[in-house]
Amino acid sequence: MCNTVPIYHQTKVIEYATVAEKLVRVFHIPNCVEVCPVGKKHAVIADVAIVPKENEVILSDKLIDELGIIIEKPSKVWKI
């Protein structure tokens, strides 16, 4: 849930250089989503980072820890 300030006022545009020295723009919106694993009662407020042309969701180490997720096999098994 975003707070009462409109999203576009909170959004920061950050540019990063990739390994191939290509500039990538990231749109960062702080405290904008509520994340709650299915079947759990606790939720975590998290930031959103939007990378144009990216089609996967990436969870930060901090969010994974706050949600109590244990990664046994990154491509297959995550325990909550």
pLDDT of residue 2: 44
Q: What is the pLDDT of residue 76?
A: 75
60: phi > 0 → left, psi -120 to 50 → alpha, else beta; which?
Answer: beta
Q: Which residues of the chain have pLDDT under 70?
A: 1-8, 77, 80
Predicted confidence at residue 75, as pLDDT, reads: 77
Assessment of whether the complete model's pTM goes beyond 0.85: no
C-alpha to C-alpha distance for 59 and 24, rounded to whole angstroms: 19
Q: Up-side HSE of residue 6: CA atoms within 13 Å toward CB?
A: 2
Provide the pLDDT for residue 6.
Answer: 57
Per-residue pLDDT, 80: 65
pLDDT at 54: 83
